[in-house]
Amino acid sequence: MTGNPYGEFDDARREYVIHRPDTPLPWLNYLGQDELIGLCTNTAGGFTFWRDARLRRLTRYRHNNVPLDLGGRYLYVNDGGTVWNPGWKPTKTPLERYECRHGLGYTRLVGARDGVEVKQLFFVPPGETAELWQTTVTNTGAAAKDLRLYSYVEFCFYEALNDMTNLQRTYSIGEVEVEGPAIYHTTEYRERRSHYTLFACTRETQGFDTSRDAFVGVHNGLHEASVPFTGASQGSIAHGWNPIGSHELRLRLEPGASETFAFVLAYVDQGEEPRFERPGVVNKATGRRLLERLAEPGAVDTAFDELRAMWDGLLSRFQVECPEPSLGRMLNTWNQYQCMTTFNLSRSASLYETGIGRGMGFRDSNQDLLGFVHLVPDRARQRILDLAATQLADGTCYHQYQPLTKKGNAEIGGDFYDDHLWLILSTCAYVKETGDTSILAAPVGYADRPGSRDDLLHHLETSIAYTLANRGAHSLPLIGHADWNDCLNLNCFSTEPDESFQTTGDVEGSAAESVMIAGLFLYASRELAALYRHLGRPDDEERLGRAYDEMLAAVEEHGWDGDWYLRAFDAEGRAVGSHERDEGAIFIESQGWCVLGGAGVGNGRARKALESVHERLYTEHGVLLHQPAFTRYHPELGEISSYPPGYKENASVFCHAHTWIDLAWCLLGDGDRALDYYLSICPATKEDRIETYRNEPYVYSQMIAGRDAAVPGEARNSWLTGTAAWSFVVAAQGILGVQPDYDGLRIDPCVPPSWDRFHVTRRFRGVVHEITVLNPNGVCGGVRAMTVDGRRVPGNLIPLSTGTGTIHVEVVLGAEQAAEAFG
Ligand code: GLC
Ligand code: GLC
């Protein structure tokens, strides 16, 4: 048992079990893996959308509500006048038993009181656009029970921003149709939509409501909704105002008896079918067929089995047994799961991302790919091409695009001059994972040249060329509006409270430079050079080698502060992240990227930079973004100094950037540091301090409040963060050292000397690699000997095998780790 009174990991079932509904914050899970996605908290809160949380939202959710997390997939039980919910909310009637199990793509709830137990299982079957709520009601008492059950969802009119703001319109457009247990939400169907939302029950129902005013009551809250308390549905038909879906079910259960049925919440596209049955009446054939299929005996169980099998298959691609339980637990299940969630959602919809502002981020998704490419390589391929298509002909990129339309937009700004370089990292990771070099020739145009056709490789070259051509006085890359740190705005000097830091224009001709982009360029250009080597194109490899050398010279000549790398030069040419500054004297981004890019090798600076980080920025909660925190607003540095000290980009532990330092320790071969840093932000280690940490202990958060904050160690903004992908890279490729490469799987661990062995199962290029690593001499790394199926193999590269079977690899660590390039 840990010190967490709210829940615990159930590793065998790959579930996180929550025993109390009043968690420090709502603890979220996601349903759905393809097109239909649901957010589901431990009290059944959340909403559901199809593909795009902004443009195709099916149910409503009020993010900043009081109390938090109200609105969701609710079931009210009226048992002889007492009304309760199996997920506790919204009535919060005390339960005798409550349990929530968040699993992979599903959530189970059990609520019980007064001899009635309700079990619910929420999930989206693979390949369906329907969310199912399988529900089992059992009479566990000694007397017969007459129960009334009421389901509840509130429909959203698809475009979530308009839905929330344009009430003079939306209050007059709502429409529904009801057919037996099927409620059809048909708002805007009469005009340009060919889809509707279906909310139905696979069991016979005894009543329904579709008007929120009728069901809840104009002046009531959901906890006192009038229909469940009076026990009589109204059969209301919504005409405008706020359409909802609610069914009434009457159950008579003898002692020990139970009944199982399912609610279905579906997005139904009419496709080519006629849109109307007769004038004004929606053609429901597609919806009816879907319901018939799901109402077949066993259909829901079969669909759930498919979901379980899907995840077993996905996760079997990477599994580890090692001496550190938190690392194993995260890697084997939750970290990979979170990586898939960032694949599906980028930064669009969570409890902290409202699904309206941020779609798929260019830099974010390219980095996320590093964590899911081994799980869904085919879909990763498409993602790379979608992203590349939002690059502009000059090499810069749209910072984000809408998943539905795949069109880039500048709604949250543009001119982030790191963006384009991440495309090189994702592409190289994809080719290493799959061996599929054909992607490089895949046709993809530039977003500002409609009809243009180029190939992906050309996009990578355009990225390199842009950075080379746009450098400043120190030959370092221009930063533009910002680099990875959105809030280091060296060119915008905003003094108006009503301006957005992200979209406010940069001053003309300003030439602030970024040492972090320089480091990223080193890394990216070396990656691309290695790709050319693999392709047998020595001239191109050499050309990139020269660009690398040139950038490295600029970094070493102008980017070193004495004990660490500078962060940037501001618009006036003054050093940022220098001992000369009283606030923001040392930053981590440039330490991470310069070292990962190969700077500081041979001159001691790499180690010096990391030791400086360790001394000044490392805390028990992770590595701070910079120190000292900004206590006043510095217009020449932008949004970064707008946050209170210790939060967000102002000196929190920004977990994403923390991982680069960790990876850099792996590169330098310090296994104790690598693991300590890994564990310092690892959510599974936070259970003992959950009252402080507050967020879900099974997924990474974007940030943990830093040393300067009121409550250091408090996490914020869980789920959608690049920390997921990078932590996977750190643990899988850095610490365990299992690195996909063009010609095989490279083994280059960096473990604590106390680890005597570990085992990794890795599916790579169709072959299952069973890899046992032994550490008889208690070292951090360095491969002394390796055998593949008993045969000695030189070096540390497991050559590509033919076939689809299993190979057994034994690795003995021994020689000191070569300080060779990572990746
Ligand atoms: C957020 C953004 C990401 C950015 C980071 C640092 O996580 O999604 O793009 O790099 O903040 O500002
Ligand atoms: C804000 C956030 C930052 C995020 C950016 C995206 O600046 O602080 O983390 O990346 O918004 O728009």
Give dist(CA 577, CA 457) in Å, integer.
Answer: 35
Q: At what angle do helices 538-558 and 456-469 cross, to 10 degrees?
A: 30
Around ligand 1, the residues with Cβ closer than 6 Å are 347, 361, 363-364, 484-487, 649, 702, 721
Q: How far is the CA of 413 from the centre of ligand 2 (A)?
A: 11
**Which atom of ligand 1 is found nearest the CA of 649?**
12
What is the chain's mean pLDDT, rounded?
96
Centre a 10 Å sphere on the Cβ of residue 524 and count the other Cβ atoms it contains. 28
Q: How far is the CA of 640 from the centre of ligand 2 (A)?
A: 10
- Residues 484-494 have a mean pLDDT of 97
Under DSSP, the state recorded for 686 is G
**Which atom of ligand 1 is found nearest the CA of 487?**
12
pTM here is 0.97
Residue 187 pLDDT: 98
Chain Cα centroid distance, residue 4: 24
Nearest residue (CA) to ligand 1, atom 7: 721
Q: How far is the CA of 27 from the centre of ligand 1 (A)?
A: 22
- Residues 418-423 have a mean pLDDT of 98
- Looking at all shown ligands, the one closest to residue 589's CA atom is 1
Q: What letter represents residue 488's amino acid? A: L
Nearest to 290 by CA among 310, 313, 273: 273
Task: Determine contact, residues 738/766, Cβ cutoff 8 Å.
Answer: no
Q: In the predicted model, is pLDDT for residue 816 greater than 70? A: no
- Residues 496-516 have a mean pLDDT of 93
Under DSSP, the state recorded for 551 is H
Nearest to 501 by CA among 393, 632, 412: 412
Instruction: Tell me the pLDDT tens digit for each residue of 392-402.
Output: 999 999 999 99
Q: In the predicted model, is pLDDT for residue 1 greater than 60? A: no
Q: How far is the CA of 376 from the centre of ligand 2 (A)?
A: 28
Q: How far is the CA of 424 from the centre of ligand 2 (A)?
A: 23
- Measured at the alpha carbon of residue 212, what is the angle toward residues 210 and 217, in degrees to the nearest 5? 135
Chain Cα centroid distance, residue 698: 13
**Which atom of ligand 2 is found nearest the CA of 486?**
10
Q: What letter represents residue 221's amino acid? A: G
- Looking at all shown ligands, the one closest to residue 722's CA atom is 1
Query: At residue 151, what are phi and psi to the nearest 5 degrees?
Result: -85, 160
Instruction: Tell me the pLDDT tens digit for each residue of 24-78.
Output: 999 999 999 999 999 999 999 999 999 999 999 999 999 999 999 999 999 999 9
Q: In the predicted model, is pLDDT for residue 817 greater than 60? A: no
Around ligand 2, the residues with Cβ closer than 6 Å are 412, 486-487, 502, 639, 648-649
Q: In the predicted model, is pLDDT for residue 20 greater than 80? A: yes
Active site residue 486: yes
Residue 119 pLDDT: 98
Residue 510 pLDDT: 85
Which of 486, 625, 639 gets mutated to test ligand 1 (max ligand atoms within 8 A of its CB)?
486
Q: How far is the CA of 485 from the centre of ligand 2 (A)?
A: 8
* Annotated catalytic residue, options 79, 418, 486, 570: 486
- Residues 164-170 have a mean pLDDT of 97
Chain Cα centroid distance, residue 192: 32
- Looking at all shown ligands, the one closest to residue 720's CA atom is 1
Question: CB burial class (10 A; 0-12, 13-18, 19+) of residue 238?
Answer: buried
Nearest to 326 by CA among 26, 752, 731: 731
Nearest to 692 by CA among 714, 719, 708: 714
- SS3 string, 639-654, reads HHHCCCCCECCECCEE
Q: How far is the CA of 44 from the centre of ligand 1 (A)?
A: 29
Q: Which tokens go with 550?
A: 């040139």
Give dist(CA 241, CA 234) in Å, integer.
Answer: 16
Could you give the 3-state DSSP secondary structure of residue 230?
helix
Instruction: Tell me the pLDDT tens digit for each residue of 239-282.
Output: 999 999 999 999 999 999 999 999 999 999 998 899 999 999 99
**Which atom of ligand 2 is found nearest the CA of 501?**
7
Which of 346, 487, 655 gets mutated to test ligand 2 (max ligand atoms within 8 A of its CB)?
487
- Residues 131-152 have a mean pLDDT of 98
Under DSSP, the state recorded for 382 is H
Q: In the predicted model, is pLDDT for residue 302 greater than 80? A: yes
Nearest residue (CA) to ligand 2, atom 4: 486
Give dist(CA 434, CA 412) in Å, integer.
Answer: 33
- Residues 394-412 have a mean pLDDT of 92
**Which atom of ligand 2 is found nearest the CA of 413?**
12
Instruction: Tell me the pLDDT tens digit for each residue of 108-133.
Output: 999 999 999 999 999 999 999 999 99
